[in-house]
Amino acid sequence: MPKRGLIALILSLAGLRLIVAYTPPGGDLASVDPTDAAAGDPSSSASAEPTPQNSSSPSTAPNPSAAPTGTLKDGTYDGEAIEFKYGIAQVEIVVSGGAITEVKALQLPTAGGYTKRVTNFFKSDIPARIIADQGWKISNVGGATYTSRAYKESLQSAINQAS
């Protein structure tokens, strides 16, 4: 194969890879990734994972399934402040009658543009979903993988306190 043909093939494959991996800035935040993006996400690395803020010891890995309805202690619980690539996520839950009745984001990134859209989505749409499911039952929010992971970790921390 001539050198030009090989170069054209390599550049075409590289361009195809970029097209396949591209997520538009105005992408659909409401779409839920049916697979766990952590396993196949080439952009994630150990250093990009959410980590608890001001934590002196490593926290236990969050359990993806929350406590069943009616088994939580009534009260208000603040989850850990989780530092991630775009800022900090911290969630507060209110438990009444053994079930989550209110979810509030205490901290989320405040930057403009797409980050602002993600933050607004996590403040407006996600709490109702958590209350309905009584926990985090989605793998990740498409276009907001890092925020999803940090939010889920903080939520699970609050649920663990209420258990």
The pLDDT value recorded for residue 50 is 52
User: Is the CATH number 3.90.1010.20 carried by domain 3-162?
Assistant: yes
- Residue 59: pLDDT over 50: no
pLDDT > 90: percent of the chain: 43
The pLDDT value recorded for residue 69 is 53
Token pair for 79:
């989850």
**pTM as predicted:** 0.61
The residue among 144 and 58 whose pLDDT is bigger is 144
pLDDT tens, 106-148?
A: 999 988 888 889 999 999 999 999 999 999 887 778 889 999 9
Q: Name the band, by pLDDT with cuts 50, 70 and 90, for residue 32.
A: very low
Q: 28-37, 78-87, 133-142 — which one is most confidently predicted on average?
A: 78-87
pLDDT > 70: percent of the chain: 69
The residue among 80 and 69 whose pLDDT is bigger is 80
**CA neighbor of 155 nearest in space, from 96, 95, 114:** 95
Where exactly are the structural domains of the chain?
A: 3-162
